[in-house]
Amino acid sequence: MEYGKSEKAMELEMEIADETVKERYELAAGRIEEIAVEGVLSEPYREYFERTAQFLKLLLEEYRFVESGKLKAASLEELKEHNHALYADVLDGTYEKSYANPVYAVKQLGEEIGRELGFLYTELRCMIPYVYETRLFELTIRMELFLEVYSQFVCAVEEEREPEAEEIRRILYWFVSDYSEIESYVRRREQLDPKEDFAAQIVMESDLTDVRYLYYYGEYVTENEIRTARHLASLPEEKIAKMADTYTEGYRIGFQVTGKEISKKKVVDIRFCLGFERMIRRAVQNFGKMGLEPVMYRAVPSIFHKKGVHKIGYYGAVPNKQYEFDHKEDDALFLDKLLLNRRLEGLKESYEAYKEQATVHGGPAVLEIFGEFPFAPENKKEACAYSEAQQKLAVEYSAQAGQLVNRYIPGEERSFTIIAFPTPEIGEQYEEIFDEVIRINTLDYALYQKIQQNIIDVLDQGVCAQIKGMNGNRTDLQVAFFELSDPAHQTVFENCVADVNIPVGEVFTSPRLEGTNGVLHVTRVFLNELEYRDLELRFQDGMIADYSCSNFETAQENRKYVRDNALYHHETLPMGEFAIGTNTTAYVAAGKFHMTERLPILIAEKMGPHFAVGDTCYSHEEENHQYNPDGKEIVAKENSVSVLRHTEPEKAYFNCHTDITIPYDELGELSVIKADGEKVYIIKNGRFVLQGCEELNKPFENV
């Protein structure tokens, strides 16, 4: 597939071409070799710069190892040694005394300079994957940044004074500002152009029975990824086909049921975790039959691309989740309005440069994993954190960036699909659990469609739903419904089976905010891999009026944790979705294998009623006509906030959508209230009681 290139895109490619930066790279590399043994500085800075220079030397050696071709000739044990050496400094057991750890950096170097040099070291660690892609430009600009900062400390020694924190911060600021535009161009090319095929070549050309291929990416690799790859290699082709077909058909059907033309699209954005390459290879072949080429880009942890702890792209093992959490707001060191505008300008210009590719981008096909050990982060006062003003800037950037992306890849023209599988970390019954998840992901589409239509027929008669908790759950919530003007041809709820959200099992709507009031409580939940204990959200006319959890000792810490990570720095969010999960098979399997707390929201949301805070499920697609299998049009697609897209688009969307599920065993009541006050129960004491839903209770019989 050939695309025209804008003049700006061609200028970019010339600027980052290896031949234009090779001399800069060699000069920087030579200087770093000297610093590692130079000994000009005194403590406490001498150790920092020598240790950091030694790490950069390790990267230079690894670059030569990769460029020489020795990488693919190395033994598995040799590859393991190389991989471990690159990530050793941030692993449990060594992180305590790593300059990547804000506590250690501040203790050794002082509060201000410690944060700045800790950030610098973290950004240099982002060079690891660029070594494996042999991207000289990315390596060179970061080595030059290190050298510029080092020179300030040398100057301070020569002038017999202490280094100035403000000068170091200024260097970091202008590094981010100066390279924001070009980094944005590079990222758009990775995300939109199938010719950027570093990962695709590994997936499609490697011998996937030889797990050495996992080390070709430059990602951190553990026994988890190795066992996953070996397990998939052991499966019969029919099972791999079943997994891949469910994934790719979900993507295709997503276009079909929303009335979008997949024939206009040429590219699919494939996101996955290392170890699943055999399934991804089959999926690429399936997508090819639909006329779609893959783009596969890395979830880069650089300051230019990361979004909190959330990963967008392909990735390997996480060396240390606390390390990622500690650095999720590193740009608090220098974020201001000028930098925000610079980033937005770069984003706009990069999409403009690759707008032809953006037009044919179909949206993401995501393979998620689950089974990792639950992570409860530690809040460190030494870590960088946004001020109130910066939180508002972060929200502003997210809103404007979302509008820009939608301008070039319109939501009403793209679709997506998401599927999830377990990893060996889930426990000794991994193989059995894996097979059970395949079964859950391929449950009878038609059966659930019929049962869920019974539920929708009752819901459409109501004005609101009432939800109450039990067994320690304090939920007491009333959710208001959109009012139908033509009940014979319209519906409030979508009958969701196995298309974009795999597995089957939910009916959902965008609730009416006015009249949606009460308390949503869950005793324990994991949202975007972070644990929340006793999470409580209070709604007033559909907006979050108050929130709390019990993760930390003080109410202030708990509120900050919820606001930063569940509300994404917004002061409030609307209830964007109300849904009833019907996948009791998944719920019973979760209990059988003791894996409830490790399930991804993709499956967990099907295991009880759930409530999303943030945008509706129809964000940027409100004008599309969409119908349930019974032919009725789904008309509850927006609320009094999203409708602002017509007049104040910057206030209409929040660019987040976080699902919170009440499990059946904490659900005392879910009922529908009709206009005349009649109450009809759908679920009572954790079981479906509505006529026509008897099949959903059968899995409980084996508990």
Residues 528 and 633 both lie in one domain = yes
Question: Do 223 and 153 sit in the same domain of this protein?
Answer: no
279 and 305 fall within a common domain: yes
Residue 18: its pLDDT value, please? 67
Assess whether 536 and 672 both reside in one domain. Answer: yes
The verdict on 92 and 222 lying in the same domain is: no
SS3 for 269-296 is EEECECCCHHHHHHHHHHHHHCCCEEEC
The pLDDT value recorded for residue 528 is: 80
Name the DSSP letter for residue 577.
Answer: E
Q: Check residue 526 and give its pLDDT.
A: 86
Out of 168, 192, 216, a domain closes at 192
Same domain assignment for residues 475 and 618: yes
Q: Are residues 634 and 676 in the same domain?
A: yes
Is 173 found in the same domain as 319? Answer: no
pLDDT bucket at 496, cuts 50 / 70 / 90: confident
180: its two tokens: 């924001």
Q: Where are the beta strands (DSSP E) in 470-511?
A: 476-480, 490-491, 494-496, 506-509
Asked if 578 contacts 479 with a C-beta cutoff of 8 angstroms, the reply is: yes
pLDDT of residue 650: 83
In the prediction, which pLDDT does 88 show?
97
Mean pLDDT of 67-81: 97
Predicted local distance difference test score (pLDDT) of residue 388: 93
Closest to 610 (Cα-Cα) out of 695, 494, 508, 482: 508
Whether residues 248 and 364 share a domain: the answer is yes
Question: Alpha carbon of 7 to those of 245, 352, 358, 573: distances in Å?
Answer: 40, 11, 16, 41
Q: Is the pLDDT of residue 113 over 90?
A: yes
Which range marks the domain in which residue 140 is found? 7-192
The reply to whether 74 and 185 lie within a common domain is yes
pLDDT at residue 12, rounded to an integer: 67
Three-state SS sequence of 128-143: HHHHHCCCHHHHHHHH
Residue 479 lies in a domain: yes
Q: Are residues 389 and 492 in the same domain?
A: no
Residue 312 covered by a domain: yes
Looking from the CA of 621 toward its CB, the CA atoms found within 13 Å total 25
pLDDT at 497: 77
**What was the pLDDT predicted at 549?**
96
H or E, element range at 671: strand 667-674
Amino acid, single-letter form, for residue 680: V
Read off the pLDDT of residues 378-433 as tens digits, 9 standing for 90 and up: 999 999 999 999 999 999 999 899 999 999 999 889 999 999 999 999 999 999 99
Residue range 589-624, pLDDT digits in tens = 999 999 888 888 889 889 999 999 999 999 988 888
Domain boundary (385, 408, 431) is at 408
**Mean pLDDT of the 653-658 span:** 91
Is residue 78 domain-shared with residue 167, that is, in the same domain?
yes
Confidence grade of residue 309 (pLDDT, cut at 50, 70, 90): low
Predicted TM-score of the model (pTM): 0.91
Average pLDDT over residues 112-118: 94
**Beta carbons within 10 angstroms of residue 174's beta carbon:** 14
Give the C-alpha distances (Å, rounded to integers) separating 374 from 193, 322, 533, 558.
36, 12, 12, 18
Question: What pLDDT, on a 0 to 100 scale, did the predictor assign at position 527?
Answer: 87
Count of domains forming the chain: 3
**Cα 127 from Cα 123, distance rounded (Å):** 8
pLDDT (tens digit per residue) in 318-352? 999 999 999 999 999 999 999 999 999 999 999 99
> Which residue blocks in 567-623 are alpha helix, DSSP H?
584-592, 601-604
pLDDT confidence tier of residue 9, bands split at 50, 70 and 90:
low
Q: Which of 125, 160, 192 is the last residue of a domain?
A: 192
The answer to whether 395 touches 655, Cβ cutoff 8 Å, is: no
In this model, does residue 4 exceed pLDDT 60? no
What pLDDT score was predicted for residue 3? Answer: 58
> If pLDDT is split at 50, 70 and 90, which confidence band does 372 have?
confident
Helix H or strand E segment including 672: strand 667-674
The verdict on residue 43 lying in a domain is yes
